[in-house]
Structure 1
């Protein structure tokens, strides 16, 4: 009997010890290795959009996680993960106008993985990418390397397999027959073509709380640092006005919106919007349909219509542009490097999309498995050098307390862009020939500078003539 009691006590102590270790392990997993994100983070950050499916041949969290130290070399401080959730099977997109239901050959059907934006469960992980433990390791590794992780959030619609379709059909928009619909253009009533998703209806106030709770899960349970919100202006502002303050009560978060609507940047809602207008003008300058004058008009419009603490994400590519409109090399031709430099020098935060650092020159498949090249060529050292300048020179601060931005008039403002940024006794100038032809011009710049990209010293006299080749640019550091 004594032996039995002794054995029982020993087993109890052993189990208790194991439980303590579990608790200790869980606590350790939650331990912060990085201070919560602040406004100061956005001042000198580079953001990286990670397409997990296409980043590696494996298409997994683990394959991406091992490369996080490489992103650190590029000055990346925020990692934006494209949707990591399970993808709906029903109405899954295949190719063209076809869905998987239209394809009969099993082998052909199997290769179509669907859109990451057709989500069947907001709080689960796409098993193709790995497990929740793999995801947690990604977040932990990012934090250990001084990077924050934000998740792509799709509040406008769900996949057709989402449990809300059957459990809460009142959460969805419906047609005259009472059937749940895919998203419709409010002006025409016609489908946008996103037939693989079901449109949520925010007239139902219970949906607001349900969606907010799904977002809070990732902050409270998985320690993420914010969200990039898909088609944010297609969701009523009322939802964001309720939800974002609740998210920030749980933890400081960084909120990026796929929109440039100024009303969503006000009153502590979103931190950053898309710099769509500047991006489109850059594309059009290469086409020859617009000039530097149009880009200057964008800068003027931003100064007039937005507040000083509004932040824009500057980019030469992203997942939509790459897959649907072409790589930056298709859209911007030989101007890619100059426009890339511009995204770092102009006010805002520069974006690197998966593969750009490796000179990706093909359109990544959207509904199928694909992969990027992983050999360092021309662009990796350029991104590395630009990232170092962005991270360390306060004259390129682009957040809520941004450095000054002053345009410099040249004798050839149609083709040549010149401006200076300044803060805390630091000054950086950009001069670029944004055209396909040689350009001669003068600019009101004098003094001795370092040409940042080459390291050479340059002394400029008043009214000196410049002769720039097509797409030639200077980054001058005082």
Structure 2
């Protein structure tokens, strides 16, 4: 099904589907806390079949972000395949964190059916994905690596990270790591190690920990399993910069990006990008794009004061909109906050970079909507996800299983019970397994055969939303007009200025009025006013009468006079997307 807008100008309205690769195809249901790979199972590259990818394309996805591809530290022993074993005292969870990279030039052996052939299996997945008209994103983790980083797969002539470091110096611009000379690393107290070890973990001299901790013994809540990479910033001397000559880490990390882009990876989600100097990004990203035009870069970033800098100096295409729209919508979904917060968010992000903000309600770091730690009901996402998808022209992201209401309810192991799907443990995701509809050792049918009626309806909502986004020129490339200011403060009878949010999206070809009701219990019955200036912004006559049809959920048809406003009825957690004719 091709739902793209014909002859469309370039759009930033990607629909990114994040797949946690090791969980996606796992059909085992054992789910033993702290279970091993063989007990709990692990998904493979090969589980993401052509059929799976076809279904994601039908779902309305444009880009697939495969999370956990690059080889990272884990407790499973692959030494029989020439892969160094990781010491379990510096690994989080039996399956390990995908953000503790142990070899930037290799892939996670857990994901391969034939471990010796693991890179080929990944390259085959790349080809399958592209053959199904989807683009591929992977993680680039630039700020830190696993404590026992060692590349056994690096290309000929590549010098390993730390290989040429002067370990007698706490800081040197050409060192790849930061050192604590004369001090030995100590594992944080209380770290649970489920694997027996022959010897304690040793590291001398100790290296600084990934979250900028310059102590020989970090805390158990620190990123103790990682070491910080040195981009020429002397953190212990007022963060002085030493960028000339170009630091060694800059060239090594640029070359890693070029390595993956040359394989056909279409873009990178860059982990904790703001912990790496913006000058590096402004130097490296244009070089990668020059060699591989069209490569996209998404920054995980949480400091709104740096948004402009990382887009225009750092050259990022897109930034996480976590501290902004996500936080505002989460408050509303939990029955707090106000839709006035949405107006504040777009006002802060409008102007020259609203189209650069990646909107989402779930990802691997955030709690699941359906969990008791968040909204407890996946249907609360309807108005929030509609706003996320249609507010502006920037990209949208969905986390695998969000569309079927994944709700983690037990401690999986290292992750603990916290409302998140584990990123550290071997596990099966029951709601997602109901969609993949397979059996252990067999490919999934990917037909939702085991979903409940409610789950099928929820997934249908997400699919309809994706198709709306893909087919609407107003949403993809059009203008935006917030209607709150003419409806708030009693200006429209029955208009709840804290639970209703109304706005226009408009292009030459299409004009939309979008109304979202965040109230869980009350139906909104009101008249939405549209000021004369807004009609003029859409090149429409405010004195005329227009027909309006809901093109999204309810298929409601209305007639409304421009000056009198639009009478509407929106059910609890309901939305209207009215096309104005």
Question: Which TM class, normalised by the smaller chain length?
Answer: 0.7 to 0.9
Instruction: Please say if residues 504 and 513 of structure 2, whose CA atoms lie closer than 8 Å, have aligned partners that are also in contact.
Output: yes
Name the structure where helix makes up a greater proportion of residues.
1
Hey, what's the Cα distance between the residues in 1 that align with 2:176 and 2:128? 37
Provide the aligned C-alpha RMSD in A.
2.9
TM-score, L = length of structure 2: 0.67
Q: For 1:233-244, list aligned pairs within 5 A.
A: 233-244=274-285
- Verify the 8 A CA contact 2:273 2:299 in the aligned structure 1: yes
When residues 187 and 157 of structure 1 are mapped into structure 2, their CA distance, relative to the original with a 3 A threshold, is closer
Residue of structure 2 in register with 1:211 after alignment: 253
What SS does the corresponding residue of 1:121 show, helix, strand or coil? strand
Contact 1:358 1:379 in 2 (8 A): yes
Unmatched 5+ residue regions in structure 1?
1-38, 93-98, 104-108
Aligned match of 1:459 in 546, 559, 563? 559
Q: CA deviation at 1:424?
A: 2.7
Tell me which residue corresponds to 1:59.
Answer: 43
Correspondence 1:206-285 to 2 at 5 A: 206-220=248-262, 222-252=263-293, 253-259=295-301, 261-267=307-313, 269-276=315-322, 277-285=324-332
Identify which range, 69-78 or 130-139, moves more after superposition.
130-139
Contact persistence 1:154–1:230 (CA under 8 A): yes
- Whether 1:296 aligns to 2:315 is no
Q: 1:428 aligns with which of 512, 516, 521?
A: 512
Alignment CA distance shift 1:289-1:388 (3 Å): closer
Aligned length: 419
Change (3 A) 1:211 1:139: same
From 54, 57, 68, the equivalent of 1:72 is: 57
CA change 1:40–1:328 in 2 (3 A) is: farther
Which one of 470, 473, 476 corresponds to residue 572 of structure 2? Answer: 470
The alpha-carbon deviation at position 102 of structure 1 amounts to 9.0
Aligned 1:345-364 pairs, distance under 5 A: 345-347=390-392, 348-362=394-408, 363-364=420-421
Aligned pair 1:331/2:347, yes or no? no
Q: What SS does the aligned partner of 1:80 have?
A: strand
**CA shift digits 1:379-418 (9 cap, x unpaired):** 2211221111111211111xxxx42110113233222100
User: Residue by residue, what CA displacement relative to the aligned partner does 1:18-77 show, whole Å, maximum 9, x if unpaired?
Assistant: xxxxxxxxxxxxxxxxxxxxx966434211111101112141111123311111012111
Unmatched runs of 5 consecutive residues or more in structure 2 = 1-7, 27-41, 78-86, 113-117, 151-159, 166-174, 184-204, 233-241, 409-419, 436-447, 449-455, 531-544
For residues 309 and 338 of structure 1, the distance between their equivalents in structure 2, rounded to whole angstroms, comes to 20
Distance in 1, Cα, partners of 2:214 & 2:108: 35
Q: Cα 1:436–1:185, aligned 2, differ >3 Å: closer, same or farther?
A: farther
- After TM superposition, the score normalised by the length of structure 1 is 0.80
Residue number in structure 1 paired with 2:176: 171
Deviations 1:80-112 (A, max 9, x none): 1113122224899xxxxxx93399xxxxx9x71
**Cα distance 1:120–1:102, how it changes in 2: closer, same or farther (>3 A)?**
closer
| Residues 166 and 254 (structure 1), Cα distance of their counterparts in 2 relative to 1, 3 Å cut | closer
Q: Distance in 1 between the 2:555 and 2:89 partners?
A: 58
* Partner residue, 1:384: 463
**Counterpart for residue 315 of structure 1:** 360
Query: Are the equivalent residues in 2 in contact too, given 1:61–1:135 (CA < 8 A)?
Result: yes
What's 1:194 paired with?
A: 223
Q: Is the 8 A contact 1:265 1:310 kept in 2?
A: no
Q: 1:21-170 alignment to 2 at 5 Å?
A: 42-57=11-26, 58-66=42-50, 67-89=52-74, 100-101=88-89, 112-130=94-112, 131-163=118-150, 164=160, 167-169=163-165, 170=175
Contact residue 151 and residue 226 of structure 1 kept, 8 A: yes
Q: C-alpha distance in 2, partners of 1:328/1:279?
A: 16
3-state SS in 2 of match to 1:344: helix
1:114 counterpart SS class: coil
